[in-house]
Amino acid sequence: MNGWTKVFESPNQIYTELVKNEIISNEINAVVLSKQDSSYLLGFFEIYVPIENAEIARLIAELFNKNESEEKTE
């Protein structure tokens, strides 16, 4: 994927899709790539964005992850 870079990974497909949707809602193109073995269900789901948007996408993913963690502890 020339011109794209990984900004997030998780073993949880649904959570990865939620993070991707948060990135997209900020008008950044994002795709999820499954690196999970279909036989054993081991591996990760990765989010890729264009290189020029990588820094802001990582920040969005980090903030989303932080907010989710805070909600679980309250």
Q: Could you tell me the sign of the dihedral formed by the alpha carbons of 24, 56, 61, 32, in that order?
A: positive
Q: Which helix (H) or strand (E) holds 27?
A: none
Quick: pLDDT tens for 27-69. 999 999 999 887 777 899 999 999 999 999 999 999 998 887 7
Q: Model-level pTM?
A: 0.85
Task: Catalogue all structural domains in the chain, each as residue range(s) with its CATH number.
Answer: 4-73 (3.30.70.1530)
pLDDT band of 73, cuts 50, 70, 90? low
Residue 36, pLDDT score: 85
Whether 74 shows a pLDDT value over 60: the answer reads: no
